[in-house]
Structure 1
Amino acid sequence: MNKKLFYIAALLCVGQSSCKEDFLVTTDPTRIGTGVFYKNEAQFRQALNGVYGQLQSITGSAYIFEELPSDNTTVDLNPSDRGDAVRWEAFEFSTVNAGNTEIGGLWSRYYSALYNTNYTLEKLATSNLEPTARGPIEGQLKFLRAYFYFHLVQYFGDVVLVTSTVDNPNQAFDLVRSPQAEVWAQIEKDLQEAVAALPATYPAAQVGSATKGAALALLGKTYLTQKKYSDAVATLKQVTGYALNPVYADNFNPAKKNGPESIFEIQYQGGNDLGEWSSFAYTFAPRASAAAITGFASTSPGGRNIPTNDLIAAYEPGDVRKDASLKTSYTLNGKVVDIPYIIKYTHPHTISGRTDDNWLILRYADVLLMLAEAINEQSGPTAEAYGYLNQVRTRAGLKDIAGLDKATFKTAVMKERRVELAFENQRWFDLRRTMTPAELTAFMNAYGLRERANPTVSRGGISFTAQDYVYSDYEYFLPVPAPEILLNSKLTQNPGY
């Protein structure tokens, strides 16, 4: 078999227990074939949980694409190891190219999850499940498909839009990138159907499943991103049954997961050998911090998501969110080390490298701030818009804001989103949503000049290159991975790459 064709076909079979028999006739006797699976509700729930499981790997690296490119975080550069680090450091320094393997991994993770989502939906459509059982499963799968494309279309612009599986590997060579408008339309359609199919709540055993509220919140964000402000307001006002957590830090406390503010979060479980743990604290802690932050000495923290001087300065005096989100130094062997670090995902745990922290994707504070933003874009800073914004500020221990015009109110909402949702993978999409490519270019280059002049973390004698922090407007989108274009010549590259 042609090597290239085999590679494409193998990718299309990711997550499927066996491919179609006319492609690969051998089977693994230790696995259940698709012919005898997808027969009852329990099996469909297993398949659905498999897609949820893929969210863990997607979320585990999302900071690279949604925080590092922004002014929120930087890197604790390792002068003695300049190997693999340059792959993810490129997103901080605006030096990403189409050959960057982080881009390739990103593309593969999303399309693997989409394949499994589409395949399960197809099997569900021909199943004998009762509508009461089928509806919520279908709604969750469509929510997940919309969630995947919500990110892909913002990462890459035009993307390959697939809502069904291919019949044979040759069809993979006919896949082309669909216009953004078509992708957004599919996201809206999936979410509208998810809203109609999903319940408001689930039994305790299904905690973490996507609800009607999650679909509404993501649909509202979809409308807001497209500047469909009236649709955003109408949709986000339907997100009910949630409330701000009285204590901001409780949103991130593993002992208080899925609390009153949580709309949708990625589930992790540490403290065991089940393979469901998170490790954000280890990824984000400064490289030389050893046990000072994680509590376990025999670790090598990543230093990959360090709060910037820029972000630290954005907190107002008295804002309780600052101490719940970051620290500006740590103490090791009695010495204070002035390197800031994230503490949102740093909590006691029993096994080295295996934390119990979930990752919040949608929470009620986000909805309130989106409502404030969308209403302001429609009508200026009305009393209602102030009310949504000030609810979030009051919880943070800050005074109400008043007396702003439309432009300054928008600035206030964006600042509030930055500190309220810091390190939750919101900042980059917020910047893109509220700025044109030219505006974002100017903004990011100004940030780069500040960081070059006064680096948040010492670079250990490594000088900046001439290309570091030089942002161009074409970087509004990521490049399509070069290997994907080599495999399928019908895929086009984004301009500038």
Structure 2
Amino acid sequence: MLDFKKTNIMITRRKYIRLVAALMVAGALSSCEKALEEVTSDKFSETSFYKTKEDAKLAVTAVYSTLNPDDGYSIWGCGLGGIVPQSSATTDELICSWGWPGWPMFNNLNLSETFPGDALFVFYNNLMPAVTNATIVMDRLSGMTIDDKVKQTYIGEVKALRAHYSWILYSYYGPVPLRLDAVAAADPNSPPIARPTKAEMVAQIEKDYMEALAVLPLASALPSSEYGRFTKDACMMGLIKLYMEEKRWDDVIKYGRELQKLGHSLKANYADIFTIENNGDNKEVIFAIPTRIDAKSANLWLAHALPGNYADPSGVALTQWGGYKMPWKTYDKFESNDKRKQRLLTKWTTTDGTTYDARANGVIGAIPMKYGVDPSATGEKHGVNIVVWRYSDVLLSMAEAINELSGPTQEAYDLVKTVRERAGLAAWSQNLTKDQFRKKLMDERLYEFWCEGGIRREDLIRWGTYIERAKADGSQFAKPEFVLWPIPRKAINETNGVIKQNPGYN
């Protein structure tokens, strides 16, 4: 399992190697099999690193470290800086009962350059240097004298990561000025570059994924000790996400069909996907973020969601901050017998043994428990992997793409039926129009992917209902430009205006 645990390393930085030194600090990670010994600062330099296969693996793992889920301001973390809390709170699937003023501002799409805590800049500030680091690492790896197949695989992983990071940036900010030249990337005095066109950035993400796809192993061939690394399967899923955003329906179907050939399937019980027993699964889970409780890479979702009076049947003592909720209006859209509601709590046994009814007691929504309890949990930290992409998304994405191209064909109905059967629900009536099928699929994707991977935000934007949702819920601030978030003013000022702000924020 890919491991984000860090050793205690001190590196003296010089200005010229600022990015590389930072990479080495992040890169000093241990594997699941054996912890690295402590290394002192005089062991690393520009010439002593990037010599061995072990050095190469450390450098690649460092690029993965941006995925580290623990910190509240990390990309796949569970706090307000994470993709899931931030994106979900701008849709109809998540509200928060804490007093921080940013939560209702997310809900209302009341966005601005002065958003509290610079929260709208977290992804930009974290991922822009991550892309730069990826560019540098690929260059360093290409010059190493190690087994060529190993080298190409590692370069492929970094390309896939650069594509993933670039896609997130593109999704939230539109085209951004990526550093793709290794020499310029390593030089902090390189002149600023302007934002590319939309077509240019999409082409670059696609190129990185395609080149990674050509050299990476299939998920089924990946050793369990390497779980969490990019595979061919994950690259295909990344391409599907990109093509869905661009409405390239033929390409969605093409790679969906490829993934259908690779042995993926749905887990029998929906709730079991999000348990520690399912860590390492690559049948339904196509890409996940490995977590562990003894390092700064744990899953803190339950602490953010569970109310303080909740008593888990397992008897495990949990830390429960009780902030995240699903609005009742959204919860009530689910069919009454939908098994996917099992992870949405409306009633629970309390610490004094009584049953607590959230709605009757004025709680603002259902509790999005989502993840199962880790029996080894220590306080807020759980070791349940964070799910990013799943096979059910392949099936529903193909159904949407087929419908957009040809209307609701038998194949489109069957793809949806497979997902609904797992939820204990009947298949749809096969007399829907293209528009009716699309509208039902909008809800089906909510039921399947609530509070997962930022998917709801992507979907609403693709369907043109993202701004409409906020206005329907009473927002007086939402405007069409807010499908994208603002570029940090600091980035604009430091480049003397070479980087331009997104429309609506000037």
The answer to whether the superposition gives a TM-score over 0.5 is: yes
**What residue number does 1:73 align with?**
94
Check whether the contact 1:117–1:145 (CA below 8 A) recurs between aligned residues.
Answer: yes
**What residue number does 1:495 align with?**
503
Shift of 1:113: 1.8
Check whether the contact 2:217–2:231 (CA below 8 A) recurs between aligned residues.
Answer: yes
Q: 1:392 to 1:109 in 2, by over 3 A?
A: same
Q: 1:210 to 1:390 in 2, by over 3 A?
A: same
Q: 1:88 to 1:126 in 2, by over 3 A?
A: farther
**What residue number does 2:270 align with?**
248
| Secondary structure of residue in 1 paired with 2:243 | helix
**What residue number does 1:420 align with?**
448
Query: Equivalent of 2:200, from 138, 157, 182?
Result: 182
Describe how 1:34-433 pairs up with structure 2 within 5 A. 34-56=46-68, 57-60=74-77, 61-78=82-99, 85-100=100-115, 101-165=118-182, 166=184, 167-171=186-190, 173-200=191-218, 201-239=221-259, 240-259=262-281, 260-270=283-293, 272=294, 274-286=295-307, 288-289=308-309, 299=319, 301=321, 303=323, 305-323=324-342, 325-330=343-348, 331=350, 333=352, 334=354, 336=356, 338=358, 339=363, 340-348=366-374, 349-401=376-428, 402-424=430-452, 425-433=454-462
Shift of 1:29: 3.0
**What residue number does 1:477 align with?**
484
**What residue number does 2:71 align with?**
none
Q: 1:34 to 1:412 in 2, by over 3 A?
A: farther
> How big is the alpha-carbon RMSD for the aligned residues of Structure 1 and Structure 2?
2.5
2:178 maps to a residue whose letter is L
2:284 maps to a residue whose letter is E
Check whether the contact 1:17–1:33 (CA below 8 A) recurs between aligned residues.
Answer: no
CA distance in 2, matches of 1:294, 1:180: 50
Q: 1:182 to 1:191 in 2, by over 3 A?
A: same
Shift of 1:11: 7.5
| Secondary structure of residue in 2 paired with 1:361 | strand
Shift of 1:129: 2.3
CA distance in 2, matches of 1:410, 1:135: 41
Q: 1:278 to 1:293 in 2, by over 3 A?
A: farther
Check whether the contact 1:51–1:117 (CA below 8 A) recurs between aligned residues.
Answer: yes
Q: 1:244 to 1:297 in 2, by over 3 A?
A: closer
CA distance in 2, matches of 1:491, 1:209: 33
Shift of 1:192: 0.9
Shift of 1:492: 1.2
More displaced stretch, 277-286 vs 141-150: 277-286
More displaced stretch, 371-380 vs 51-60: 51-60
Q: 1:169 to 1:65 in 2, by over 3 A?
A: same
> Percent identical across equivalent pairs?
28
Q: 1:50 to 1:13 in 2, by over 3 A?
A: closer
TM-score with structure 2 length normalisation? 0.83
Structure 1 runs of 4+ with >6 Å offset: 6-11, 290-298
Shift of 1:51: 1.9
2:57 maps to a residue whose letter is R
Shift of 1:99: 2.7
**What residue number does 1:21 align with?**
none
| Unaligned residue ranges in structure 2 (runs of 5+) | 1-12, 26-39, 69-73
Check whether the contact 1:64–1:88 (CA below 8 A) recurs between aligned residues.
Answer: no
| Secondary structure of residue in 1 paired with 2:236 | helix
More displaced stretch, 113-122 vs 91-100: 91-100
| Secondary structure of residue in 2 paired with 1:238 | helix
TM-score with structure 1 length normalisation? 0.84
Check whether the contact 1:143–1:190 (CA below 8 A) recurs between aligned residues.
Answer: yes
Q: 1:119 to 1:337 in 2, by over 3 A?
A: farther
| Secondary structure of residue in 2 paired with 1:355 | coil
Q: 1:337-359 CA deviation, whole Å, 9 max, x = no partner?
A: 51321111241443112111211
Check whether the contact 1:285–1:293 (CA below 8 A) recurs between aligned residues.
Answer: no
Shift of 1:276: 2.6
CA distance in 2, matches of 1:312, 1:30: 57
CA distance in 2, matches of 1:40, 1:30: 17
**What residue number does 2:35 align with?**
none
1:131 maps to a residue whose letter is D
Shift of 1:158: 2.3
**What residue number does 1:461 align with?**
none
CA distance in 1, matches of 2:313, 2:169: 34
Check whether the contact 1:15–1:112 (CA below 8 A) recurs between aligned residues.
Answer: no
Shift of 1:317: 2.0
CA distance in 2, matches of 1:86, 1:7: 40
Q: 1:375-398 CA deviation, whole Å, 9 max, x = no partner?
A: 111111111111111100111110
Q: 1:293 to 1:475 in 2, by over 3 A?
A: farther
CA distance in 1, matches of 2:487, 2:14: 18
CA distance in 2, matches of 1:30, 1:346: 44
Check whether the contact 2:302–2:320 (CA below 8 A) recurs between aligned residues.
Answer: no
**What residue number does 1:442 align with?**
468
| Secondary structure of residue in 2 paired with 1:307 | strand
Check whether the contact 2:299–2:385 (CA below 8 A) recurs between aligned residues.
Answer: yes
1:132 maps to a residue whose letter is K
| Secondary structure of residue in 1 paired with 2:23 | coil
Q: 1:89 to 1:14 in 2, by over 3 A?
A: farther
2:471 maps to a residue whose letter is N
Q: 1:443 to 1:294 in 2, by over 3 A?
A: farther
Shift of 1:298: 8.6
| Secondary structure of residue in 1 paired with 2:288 | strand
Q: 1:420-443 CA deviation, whole Å, 9 max, x = no partner?
A: 0111021001111121xxx53223
1:69 maps to a residue whose letter is T
Q: 1:11 to 1:381 in 2, by over 3 A?
A: farther
Shift of 1:53: 2.2
**What residue number does 2:32 align with?**
none
**What residue number does 2:30 align with?**
none
**What residue number does 2:4 align with?**
none
| Secondary structure of residue in 1 paired with 2:394 | helix
The alignment covers a number of residue pairs equal to 449
